[in-house]
Structure 1
Amino acid sequence: MADQSDDTEKTEEPTSKKLEDAHKKGDVAKSQEVNTWFVMLGACITAGFLSPGMAAKLSHFFEVFIASPHDIPMDAQHLRMLWMDIGTAVLLSLALPMAVLMAGALAGNVLQHKPIFTTEKMKPKLNKISPLQGFKRLFSLTSLVNFTKGIVKICIVGVVTFVILWPERDRLAVMVTYEVSEILPLVQMLTIRVSIGVLAVLGVLAGLDYLYERFQWMKKQRMSIQEIKDEYKQMEGDPTVKAKLRQLRMERGRKRMMAAVPEASVVIANPTHYAIALKYEQGMAAPLVLAKGIDAVALKIREIAEAHEIPVVVNPPLARALHATVEIDEEIPPEHYRAVAEVIGYVMRLKAKMSWRTRRT
């Protein structure tokens, strides 16, 4: 009973194949806080370094609408061109900031796991639209943890913002008396300082959240002992399947071997147990084994040989010796040259004698 319970409990660390299969399905360790941090980094870069130039370009372009709106032509053709110019200017001004934000979003994913394209997450599943499953997800431990993380993050960001802005409370109180040219640099400076502080704190939180998410993911990927055994069996091959494949290979090899028997010059046999089909032609260094077998295979070799009028010579010691020492498509070893030469010589004399009788007849 204890062994059975161990097999059903997922207590073992996942194998590399299990992790690779999960990755192919799009199931990866991923922290949304890391993605948020990189997007915020891109937003801070945009606000702190790119927004002044972008604002200057746009303000210069739209200056005509405020300074001299009466000079703007109002006919259809000029209005169409004006709107095209406005769209082009806005797109060009926003292109670099949008590229920075997209790069931040991609970096947040790429740094957590290697890229993968899968449609597994897009497949429709009934549990995604089930009200009961949705209710369970809403009040699950994961939802509670995410809610807690959100509250903690808001509190920490609020504290950091308060600590950074509190020393500037006097300047903020009289900011309404400043000129516009003085307000914008001050706002930019405070925004950069708050952003750096918030990013520093959220960076720590994102790192801790990623470690937590990876721990939870690895826990979910754990395997039972039986799953590891099944995976190993699948990788190594099921013994039953391997035996079947081995049997198929043997059958195909036997068919090819039998097809080569009609090319043999002689078959050396034990009366009932062994049969060796040899081929010898002028110019060959030594006779070649085309087929060999015992019992039923040997009987089949003899039947094919007799059907094609190939001489069958009974020599039990030589048949057993050749079967044990020579494989198919191999030449016979030198120690059997003499015995095989006598057999082939006998066969050649027999063929010559039968040919002479045929000519006389």
Structure 2
Amino acid sequence: MAESESGQDKTEDPTEKKKRDAREKGEVARSKELNTFAVMMAGAGALLVFGGALAQDLAELMRMNFTLSREVVLDQRYMGIFLLRSGEMAIWAVQPILLTALAAALIGPIALGGWLFSASAMAPKFSRMNPFPGIKRMFSAKSVMELLKAVGKFTIILFVGLSVLSSDIDDLVRIAHEPLESAVIHSLQVVGWSTLWMSLGLLIIAAVDVPVQLYTAHQRLLMTKQEIRDEHKDQEGRPEVKQRIRQLQREMSQRRMMAAIPEADVVITNPTHYAVALKYDADKGGAPVLLAKGSDFLALKIREIAVEHDILLLESPALARSIYYSTELDQEIPAGLYLAVAQVLAYVFQIRQYRAGKGKRPDPLKGDLPIPPDLRRDS
């Protein structure tokens, strides 16, 4: 059972995020034995399929280079010409086999772990240059496993190779008595079938290594219960971080609210526990808008700012409580409070006219303002 650095047992299956992060780092299950098996099988198959054409090209190549006229032998210029032609013929002759092996080298890793390009895995890690961890890895359980696999591969390939050679002795002897062209074709066939049988021997190693690699990769990704809880907190947001964010949002909202108070037409108070600041824009129409609201200490700050900017303070406990609880910042007041607020704004307009010397001083608002029962809030 895997154990974390904290001493807790890693008993929980990895989460999707853990798998995704590991994949981004290039930490996926890979089997070198499966890749070797795929390349060997592809090479052997290509040799059997394209062996006849390869033999003919090789025979043509030998005829071209060993049947030279006297003029060609005595002229040094033909040396470079024949070298280039020979290289071109050799490349075209082995191209199908090389392309088949290249395709197998690409498909083999994709078969286990899928296609993956990770810049993180390609980045140089200077920790790998430290000789002490390297010496430690030489005597690790993984190194022992690799040694056992190497011995197993050697034993299986040796056994299969000796078996194939013993069964092909008659063919190998007959090749010595065949014409050159048929001998080359026969040789390639023997090599192709021998390679194919030895590749099948690697299938045993790959069949054992693939489950081991899958199990090892899964064990490496196991998590403790605490790691799962921490990951869940990180995804959902840690409570202390969320609380801090909410606090900052409240502070920013309060700063914007305080900055908007000088634009208010009136501040209605409780008189001490609540304060709401309203603004009515006749040009835009609509209903009055709540610019600021607060209780206790915040209500005191609203009143102080209103006094600093010569904004009328009006005591109306019932209306202040109704607006405070029924209206959010930057929203219009509800329709049920239109009449009460209209009376307040009319009084504010008369006060402004009086202060400007254009009218007499209005009488203070008397009695309770008309507030619907469903919008009333008792103190």
For the aligned pair, the TM-score class normalised by the smaller chain equals 0.7 to 0.9
Q: TM-score, normalised by structure 2?
A: 0.83
8 Å Cα contact 2:280/2:287 also seen in 1? yes
Identity over aligned pairs, percent: 32
In structure 2, what is the equivalent of residue 241 of structure 1? 241
Per the TM alignment, residue 75 of structure 1 is displaced from its structure 2 partner at its CA by 6.4
The amino acid across from 1:308 in the alignment is H
8 Å Cα contact 2:37/2:199 also seen in 1? yes
Per the TM alignment, residue 40 of structure 1 is displaced from its structure 2 partner at its CA by 0.8
In structure 1, what is the equivalent of residue 219 of structure 2? 219
In structure 1, what is the equivalent of residue 307 of structure 2? 306
In structure 2, what is the equivalent of residue 287 of structure 1? 288
The one-character-per-residue Cα deviations of 1:185-224 (angstroms, maximum 9, x if unpaired) are 4333333433443444433532331111110111122112
Q: TM-score, normalised by structure 1?
A: 0.86
In structure 2, what is the equivalent of residue 12 of structure 1? 12
The one-character-per-residue Cα deviations of 1:220-275 (angstroms, maximum 9, x if unpaired) are 22112222222222222222222111111111111111222222121111222211
8 Å Cα contact 2:24/2:120 also seen in 1? no
Gap runs ≥5 in structure 1: none
Distance (Å, rounded) in 2 between the aligned partners of 1:284 and 1:312: 24
The one-character-per-residue Cα deviations of 1:86-123 (angstroms, maximum 9, x if unpaired) are 44444444444332222211111122223122244542
> Superposition pairs for residues 166-177 of structure 1, below 5 Å?
166-177=166-177
Three-state SS of the structure 2 residue aligned to 1:229 is helix
In structure 2, what is the equivalent of residue 106 of structure 1? 106
In structure 2, what is the equivalent of residue 41 of structure 1? 41
Whether 1:326 aligns to 2:330 is no
The amino acid across from 2:147 in the alignment is F
Distance (Å, rounded) in 1 between the aligned partners of 2:176 and 2:104: 35
Three-state SS of the structure 2 residue aligned to 1:309 is coil
In structure 2, what is the equivalent of residue 297 of structure 1? 298
Three-state SS of the structure 2 residue aligned to 1:291 is strand
Higher share in helix = 1
In structure 2, what is the equivalent of residue 352 of structure 1? 353
Aligned length: 355
Per the TM alignment, residue 127 of structure 1 is displaced from its structure 2 partner at its CA by 4.9
Whether 1:22 aligns to 2:1 is no
Distance (Å, rounded) in 1 between the aligned partners of 2:346 and 2:74: 115
In structure 1, what is the equivalent of residue 66 of structure 2? 66
8 Å Cα contact 1:23/1:116 also seen in 2? no
8 Å Cα contact 1:6/1:224 also seen in 2? no
Per the TM alignment, residue 62 of structure 1 is displaced from its structure 2 partner at its CA by 4.9
Distance (Å, rounded) in 2 between the aligned partners of 1:111 and 1:44: 19
Distance (Å, rounded) in 1 between the aligned partners of 2:187 and 2:56: 16
Aligned pair in 2 of structure 1 residues 158, 5: CA closer, same or farther (>3 Å)? closer
Gap runs ≥5 in structure 2: 361-379
Distance (Å, rounded) in 1 between the aligned partners of 2:84 and 2:171: 43
Distance (Å, rounded) in 1 between the aligned partners of 2:356 and 2:74: 116
RMSD: 2.9
Per the TM alignment, residue 353 of structure 1 is displaced from its structure 2 partner at its CA by 2.0
Per the TM alignment, residue 181 of structure 1 is displaced from its structure 2 partner at its CA by 3.8
Aligned pair in 2 of structure 1 residues 177, 150: CA closer, same or farther (>3 Å)? same
